[in-house]
Chains A and B, each alone.
Chain A
Amino acid sequence: MSTAEIASGAKASRTASAPDPADDRLMHHDYDGIREYDNPLPFWWKGIFVVCIAHAAAYLYWFHLGGPGLSEHEQYAARHKEWKAVRAAAPQEQVTIDEAALTALTKDSAAVERGRGVFLKNCASCHTEDGRGLVGPNLTDRFQVHGATRLDLWQTIQTGVPDKGMLSWGPILPPAELAAVAAFVVTLRGTEVAGGKASEGHSVEPFR
């Protein structure tokens, strides 16, 4: 052990299991001035290496060679079942929506405002922010593609129109948000925003 080593505090960091200075045995060879000690491997290094190797064997047995570990797909099936149970048990899933409830909601300015927020975030990409239509149909004219009532609008949002590329929002949006956005869309009909997309579907009366 050199004096420089002691002076720099290297000795202080040594633990009891660290190699004895006597082990700092220089090898006889020399490569371009580089010498080598032949110190023993640190105990903790060997220990962790052995544990990692043991872990490999245990893991192989547990998941692949007859152990009780579930396969990735079995794990998925179990988790999917749990998730379905959570979905079924969710209290707000049992909310009933009908024409009267939706009509009441369109009169609730707070609900409509909430619906506008949901619309801007999720619907504006296809129907534009003011509902004049782009990828999806114009929501501000006096036409409707699917059905005619408020409940039909809600139903369209709920189940989507896969053939036309409209997503099914039922599994994505919570029921309260779904109802709010339906209420907001109800308020759009007949506002006839300028520059709207050409009308599609059949002619309907504006909601009152």
Chain B
Amino acid sequence: MLQLLDAADGRLVGEEDAALAVAKDELVQAVDDGDAVWPSLNLAPYFTFGRLRPLHTNAVIFAFAGNGMFAAIYYSSQRLLKARMFSDLLSNIHFWGWQLIIVAAAVTLPLGFTQGKEYAELEWPIDLAITVVWVVFAVNFFGTLARRRERHLYVALWFYIATIITVAILHIFNNLVIPAGPFKSYSIYAGVQDAFMQWWYGHNAVAFFLTTPFLGLMYYFLPKAADRPVFSYRLSILHFWSLVFLYIWAGPHHLHYTALPAWASTLGMIFSVMLWMPSWGGMINGLLTLRGAWDKVAEDPVLKFFVVAITFYGMSTFEGPMLSVKSVNALSHYTNWNIAHVHGGALGWVGFMVFGMVYWLVPRLYQAPLYSLRLASTHFWISTIGIVLYVVSLWAAGITEGLMWRAFDDTGRLQFPDFVETSVRIAPMYWVRMLGGSLYITGTLIGIYNVYKTWAARPAVYALAEVEVPVPTWRRPRPAASDQRALRPEAEAPAHWHRRWEGLPMVFSVLVGLAVVVASLFEILPTFLIGDNVPRIAAVRPYRPLELYGRDIYIREGCYNCHSQMVRPFVDETVRYGEYSKPGEFVYDHPFQWGSRRIGPDIHREGGKRNHVWHWHHFRDPRATSKGSVMPAYPHLFSDRIDWGEIQDRVDAMAMLGTPYSKAALDDAPGQARAQAEQIAAELAAQGGPTGVADREVIALIAYLQRLGTDITQRAAAEQAAPGGK
């Protein structure tokens, strides 16, 4: 039976869209880099680093990688299944819905609407939209599986199935929130549990958004472009299942030496180490598929991009397990080393896989030869050099920071007690990084130009491709035993046990779902059920209404992008910052704000360290109080007024989550907040600060900062004052 497959099928999700997303994203990154070098660049509150960085990460993941992944899935699935998508309407809803979500992110994140959790910043209405669009995508995809003409599923499709199922689970469970307004919500989890859920999500966003779909992409486009058989079917089976099962456990390696229970962090580490070979299984299957085709790599830009992408995949998946080893993580965590690691993955693996795919698709979709091989080659080399500069400079910066933070002199004093000294030291590395990033974007722009010129030379009318598709005989009533052999040629070879599952997509999908859910529950249930994991500390009380409001400003401004709130149990950290953080201190933190990066110092023990006037001057002009600081100024906190009317809703939402607020706070939170603001304003004036500023946002933020990390030390002080009177 002949079936006409429209060549336009794969055009449903715009490849150019992905390219534009990377361009937009690089611009955001360029502004971010500039922020670090020239803090005075902040022209408006909307473009501070704390608000742009989430836009950058969301754009890379959801706009660039997302659109690239969808293009690969729509194009390759229809060909691998020999079937048109289940519904063109759903395809269109998916495409336009997803682009609208990206626009919504680009608007709301600079406005400061954020849930304050990395890569899950988008507020609840957008999260609902993502859920709907994802379900549309899933229905469309599984519907196509159901009407396939190819009985067995090729390995690329296994990875797509894992992606669709797991991303849905991750997205839903990490974004469970209680709304406190149209664009404001509080995570239902607090402190340790919230951190755990967030990094279960965060790490598996890397796994199932940035890895599995791109492995699927590789399994389709690489053998196509190389015109060589895939190296090993049994390796595909083994590395697919081990990857899906092991990846889910690895999240807690983002939380080593934090207040997370040590057993959870150990699981994160050992499963990350076990993940090394399953990841490399993908790399081997990619690179060894090129046996006998290496001469093509020298000429074909598609294969060039793929080879470097897979090499970066191999490097990142070695670096990841290494960084997850606790003693390495002690040095690398909070530094630029992590930033180097993710950019090797994002620019090298994801970026180059997408570029390779685009160079393969564009001449085929537009039925015109690629405009210029030479430009494609230029794109490849410029961007490759860009990545190398980018990654190497950040390795150097990260290791420099890590070593400077922990350096003691021989008398036991911190060698660099002033944090600013460590951030000034790495500024030259930021310039190299900026050069690397600029090269990468230059290469991308060349690529966009090449795609545009190819598109411009397309024929007026596309030729329709005729494709031979198999007859789905296996859907018909079972043939007589004598015919069976002829209809199922693979039966000639001894059938592989896995082969059966490949013909049963629903069973296969359920097994993938089980692997993911079972692995998750092993970690999640104990974290939530065992009381010992978060020992209560009696002295830790809920935030007062003004402090809660100030905390919301902290979240809105994205302070967690540069400041951690987690003093690790290391001598250099306790000497620099104060007592290490305890799990019980975070029980009212919806969401947690431990951070993952120290562009500025940790501030968990900031409360009471400096007076109000210092903070006042610091927010007005960080360089006035900390020479060389890279923190932006926050002039709008001094002009914008506290919205007293909002406070009651926030307190009520927190109370709904089980925060034990007093009756007074529940009856009149704004009144309590006003009283505290007046008190702080009076203290500020007494310290030589301005007068009459009790209604400014900065007062609420100061109230929060002065509270941070003080509950347990105040208990210690109280015990000292009245020995035995606990």
Task: Kindly identify, within residues 53 to 71 of chain A, every residue whose CB is under 8 Å from any CB belonging to chain B.
Answer: 53, 55-56, 59-60, 63-64, 71
Residue A48 interfacial (CB < 8 Å): yes
Query: Which A-chain residue is minimally distant from B276 (CB atoms)?
Result: A52
Q: How far is the CB of A73 from chain B (nearest CB, A)?
A: 6
A7–B296 Cα distance when bound, in Å, is 12
A197–B257 Cα distance when bound, in Å, is 44
Of B263, B280, B413, B614, the contact of A174 (CB 8 Å cutoff): B413
Residue B417 interfacial (CB < 8 Å): yes
Residue A109 interfacial (CB < 8 Å): no
Binds A, one of B331-339, B436-444, B487-495, B513-521: B487-495
Q: How many residues of chain B are within 8 Å of chain A by beta carbon?
A: 74
Q: How far is the CB of B587 from chain A (nearest CB, A)?
A: 19
A86–B413 Cα distance when bound, in Å, is 9
Residue B169 interfacial (CB < 8 Å): no
A42–B294 Cα distance when bound, in Å, is 20
- Contact A76/B570 with A165-B610, A165-B614 known, Cβ cut-off 8 Å: yes
A71–B263 Cα distance when bound, in Å, is 10
Q: Is the CB of B569 within 8 A of A73?
A: yes
Most central of B280, B292, B293, B613 by chain A CB within 10 Å: B292
Q: How far is the CB of A48 from chain B (nearest CB, A)?
A: 5
Q: How far is the CB of B583 from chain A (nearest CB, A)?
A: 12
Residue B229 interfacial (CB < 8 Å): yes
Q: Is the CB of B266 within 8 A of A63?
A: yes
Task: Kindly identify, within residues 250 to 306 of chain B, every residue whose CB is under 8 Å from any CB belonging to chain A.
Answer: 257, 262-263, 266, 269-271, 273-274, 276-278, 280-281, 284, 288, 291-295
Residues from chain B with a CB closer than 8 A to the CB of A197 are 688
- Contact A10/B294 with A28-B489, A33-B224, A90-B410 known, Cβ cut-off 8 Å: yes
Digit string of B561-590 for contact with A (CB within 8 Å is 1, else 0)?
A: 000000001110011000010000000000
A198–B224 Cα distance when bound, in Å, is 78
A52–B257 Cα distance when bound, in Å, is 22
Binds A, one of B348-356, B619-627, B659-667: B619-627
Query: Which B-chain residue is minimally distant from A87 (CB atoms)?
Result: B412
Digit string of A80-119 for contact with B (CB within 8 Å is 1, else 0)?
A: 1001101100111100000000000000000000000000
Q: Is the CB of A86 within 8 A of B411?
A: yes
A158–B18 Cα distance when bound, in Å, is 58
Query: Which A-chain residue is minimally distant from B469 (CB atoms)?
Result: A32
Residue A37 interfacial (CB < 8 Å): yes
A93–B410 Cα distance when bound, in Å, is 12
Q: Is the CB of A72 within 8 A of B569?
A: yes
Q: Is the CB of A27 within 8 A of B493?
A: yes
A135–B618 Cα distance when bound, in Å, is 10
Q: Is the CB of A52 within 8 A of B274?
A: yes
A36–B295 Cα distance when bound, in Å, is 20
Residues from chain B with a CB closer than 8 A to the CB of A162 are 608
A168–B493 Cα distance when bound, in Å, is 79
Digit string of A164-175 for contact with B (CB within 8 Å is 1, else 0)?
A: 110100011110
Of B224, B294, B409, the contact of A9 (CB 8 Å cutoff): B294
Query: Which B-chain residue is minimally distant from A198 (CB atoms)?
Result: B688
A84–B613 Cα distance when bound, in Å, is 34
Residues from chain B with a CB closer than 8 A to the CB of A126 are 614, 625
Residues from chain A with a CB closer than 8 A to the CB of B271 are 56
- Residues of A with Cβ closer than 8 Å to B? 1-2, 4-5, 7-10, 26-29, 31-42, 45, 48-49, 52-53, 55-56, 59-60, 63-64, 71-73, 75-76, 79-80, 83-84, 86-87, 90-93, 121-122, 124-126, 134-135, 162, 164-165, 167, 171-174, 197-198, 200
Sampled A-B contacts (29; CB under 8 Å): A4-B292, A4-B295, A7-B295, A8-B295, A32-B80, A34-B224, A37-B230, A39-B231, A41-B235, A42-B284, A45-B284, A48-B276, A48-B277, A59-B270, A60-B266, A64-B263, A76-B569, A76-B570, A76-B571, A76-B574, A90-B412, A125-B626, A126-B614, A134-B624, A135-B613, A165-B610, A165-B687, A172-B413, A173-B417
8 nearest CB pairs, A to B: A165-B611, A90-B411, A5-B292, A56-B270, A76-B569, A49-B277, A35-B229, A87-B412
Given contacts A8-B295, A40-B232, A125-B627, 17 further A-B contacts (CB under 8 A): A27-B233, A28-B493, A29-B152, A33-B224, A35-B223, A37-B230, A39-B234, A48-B276, A56-B274, A59-B269, A64-B262, A76-B570, A86-B408, A135-B610, A172-B414, A173-B417, A174-B413
